[in-house]
């Protein structure tokens, strides 16, 4: 006798896959983000998951290239998208004459990175991006629009208080220039980005190795630690008398941004200037953003972005400045789940479960068809022997109402409706079910 062998059902490490009750919450977060982006006037875009490899590799350095999934099929060298910025650059260059500018678009979907899987790092994850792109120059107000969009999005996501941290690349680079360290700008920015994770002492040691002297290190650390109100920080920036053009431009831009944010009806408690945020990417040229959940600083930055001078330099001679932010939803969801912060009260997709006690399939479906027609999620429960068992199945499913059809109910043309949240039970005329569950 030959025994049948099975392939062990597993997925690759570094990929997130949820049970339905978690998926429902994940989808609600996705929907909430999308609604916020649309409320703020962004248009949807959905670029292919697979693109020509030379397009996706155009911009990336060696380090990034290692992370990109590439393969050959037929004559085509293909790659899986690893972000939405490169596809956006390609799209705007390709469709330049068909788009209206400023082009405000959002894209929500999966991106792929062949990283070594480790806790909190995913090889396939959802990114939720908004960007505003214009021709030749982009008005400063759009950076404030991005702050307003971030505010709207996180306010509606309902994850507790959050802080939008704002900085300007030109401040740090100007200050580094002033200290005579301009040849090391990239490395220094990358170190500053690590302060939160590894601490100032380690960063100071790294600085030493890089040939930054103690005096310079102290000045940099003092600079990025400038705390206080927005007005305090702006005052300090001026009092430093840095006398460097890049720095001065940065001051002017951040003052402008502060003024524009003032127009946006954003509570003062939701945003601040933080001179310590640096953003790893070379890509940003002016304003930069990072968002943290105030109650969960250990989550680190849950959203980041900024302004860039030129989106599409590899694809077009057109100058396309832009500004935007990106939320890494898979990582954020994973953190919320790990910390037991998912709101399982939100988990119901189903509103009414009809339980026919006996051969009332016909009546059960009359009710279900009626509910569905009124946009109420409804289904019939067949499984389980006896009412008690059936109610227990219904309870586990997370449904809000149970509608029981039995002999008595049929005789009296009324249906017993049980609210699974409150335990309350009512006898409702069959024709009134829709309005009963709608108003509850």
Q: Does residue 24 interact with a second copy by CB under 8 A?
A: yes
Residue of the chain from 184, 319, 337, 372 that contacts a second copy (CB under 8 A): 372
Is 41 one of the binding residues for a second copy (CB under 8 A)? yes
Q: From CA 179, how far away is CA 200, in angstroms rounded?
A: 19
Q: What is the CA radius of gyration of the chain?
A: 27
Which of 32, 185, 281, 314 touches a second copy by CB under 8 A? Answer: 314
Nearer to a second copy, 181 or 434 (CB): 434
- Contact range with a second copy by CB under 8 A, out of 200-208, 267-275, 295-303, 392-400: 392-400
| CA distances (Å), origin 217, targets 18, 84, 197, 199, 236 | 46, 36, 18, 14, 18
Decide if residue 344 touches a second copy (CB under 8 A).
no
Residue 377 in the binding site for a second copy (CB under 8 A): yes
395 in contact with a second copy (CB under 8 A): no
By beta-carbon proximity to a second copy, the closer residue of 27 and 435 is 27
3-class DSSP assignment, residue 246: helix
Q: Does 45 bind a second copy (CB under 8 A)?
A: yes
- Alpha-carbon distance 373 to 375, whole Å? 5
Choice between 111 and 278, CB closer to a second copy: 111
> Contact between 105 and a second copy (CB under 8 A)?
yes
Find the shortest distance in angstroms from Cβ 199 to a second copy: 32
Q: Where are the alpha helices (DSSP H) in 310-385?
A: 329-338, 361-373
User: Within 3-22, which residues bind a second copy (CB under 8 A)?
Assistant: 4, 6-12, 15-20
For residues 302 and 294, what is the distance between their CA atoms, to the nearest angstrom? 11
Query: How is residue 53 written in tokens?
Result: 């490899």
**Spatial CA neighbour of 131 closest among 111, 113, 108:** 108
2 makes contact with a second copy (CB under 8 A): no
**Beta bridge mates, 131:** 105, 324
**Shortest Å distance, C-beta 394 to a second copy:** 11
336 contact partners, CB below 8 Å, separation of at least 6: 159, 342
Q: Which is nearer to a second copy, 151 or 207 (CB)?
A: 151
How large is the angle between the packed helices 214-224 and 169-178, nearest 10 degrees?
160
Q: Is 118 an interacting residue with respect to a second copy (CB under 8 A)? A: no
Among 214, 227, 231, 369, binds a second copy (CB under 8 A): 369
Question: Contact between 343 and a second copy (CB under 8 A)?
Answer: no
Minimum distance of a second copy from residue 18's CB (angstroms): 7
The rounded distance, in Å, linking the Cα atoms of 62 and 415 is 67
CB 97 within 8 A of CB 65: no
The reply to whether 93 sits near a second copy by the rule CB under 8 A is yes
Among 65, 69, 406, 426, binds a second copy (CB under 8 A): 69
**Strands 401-405 vs 287-293: parallel, antiparallel or unpaired:** unpaired
Residue 47 near a second copy by CB under 8 A:
yes
Site for a second copy, residues 239 to 298, rule: CB under 8 A: 260, 262-265
Cβ distance to a second copy smaller for residue 263 or 344: 263
Binding-site member from 29, 33, 40, 311 for a second copy (CB under 8 A)? 40
| 158 alpha-carbon distance from chain centroid | 13
Specify the residue, 244 or 397, whose C-beta has the smaller distance to a second copy.
397
Q: Does 170 bind a second copy (CB under 8 A)?
A: no
Residue 327 has a CB neighbour count (10 Å cut-off) of 25
CB 36 within 8 A of CB 153: yes
Nearer to a second copy by Cβ, of 11 and 243: the residue is 11
């Amino acid at each position: 006798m030959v025994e049948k062998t099975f392939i062990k059902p597993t997925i690759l490490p570094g990929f997130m896959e949820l049970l339905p009750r978690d998926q429902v919450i994940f989808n609600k977060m996705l929907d909430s983000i999308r609604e916020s982006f649309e409320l703020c006037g962004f248009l949807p875009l959905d670029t292919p998951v697979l693109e020509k490899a030379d397009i996706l590799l155009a911009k990336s350095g060696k380090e990034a290239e290692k992370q990109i999934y590439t393969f050959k099929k037929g004559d085509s060298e293909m790659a899986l998208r690893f972000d939405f910025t490169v596809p956006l650059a390609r799209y705007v260059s390709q469709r330049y004459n068909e788009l209206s500018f400023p082009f405000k678009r959002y894209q929500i979907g999966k991106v792929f990175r062949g990283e070594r899987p480790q806790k909190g790092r995913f090889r396939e994850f959802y990114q939720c991006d908004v960007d505003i792109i214009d021709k030749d120059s982009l008005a400063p107000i759009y950076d404030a629009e991005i702050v307003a969009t971030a505010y709207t999005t996180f306010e509606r996501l309902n994850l507790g208080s959050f802080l939008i941290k704002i900085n300007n690349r030109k401040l740090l680079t100007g200050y580094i220039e002033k200290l005579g360290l301009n040849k090391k700008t990239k490395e220094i920015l990358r170190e500053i980005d690590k302060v939160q994770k590894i601490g100032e002492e380690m960063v100071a040691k790294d600085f030493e190795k890089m040939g930054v002297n103690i005096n310079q290190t102290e000045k940099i650390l003092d600079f990025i630690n400038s705390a206080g109100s927005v007005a305090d920080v702006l005052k300090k920036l001026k009092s430093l008398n840095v006398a460097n053009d890049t720095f001065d431009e940065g001051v002017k831009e951040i003052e402008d941004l502060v003024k524009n944010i003032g127009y946006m009806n954003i509570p003062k408690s939701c945003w601040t200037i933080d001179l310590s945020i640096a953003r790893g990417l070379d890509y940003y040229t002016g304003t930069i953003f990072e968002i943290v959940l105030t109650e969960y600083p250990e989550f680190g930055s849950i959203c980041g972005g900024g302004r860039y001078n030129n989106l599409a330099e590899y694809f077009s001679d057109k100058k396309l400045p832009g500004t935007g932010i990106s939320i890494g939803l898979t990582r954020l969801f994973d953190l919320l789940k790990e910390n037991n912060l998912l709101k399982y009260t939100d988990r119901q997709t189903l509103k009414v479960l009809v339980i026919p006690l006996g051969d009332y399939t016909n009546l059960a479906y009359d009710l279900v068809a009626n509910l569905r027609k009124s946009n109420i999620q409804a289904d019939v429960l067949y499984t389980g022997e006896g009412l008690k068992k059936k109610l227990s199945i219904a309870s586990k499913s997370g449904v809000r109402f149970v509608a029981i059809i039995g002999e008595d109910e049929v005789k009296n043309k009324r249906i017993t409706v049980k609210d699974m949240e409150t335990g309350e039970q009512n006898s409702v005329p069959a024709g009134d079910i829709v309005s009963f569950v709608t108003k509850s």
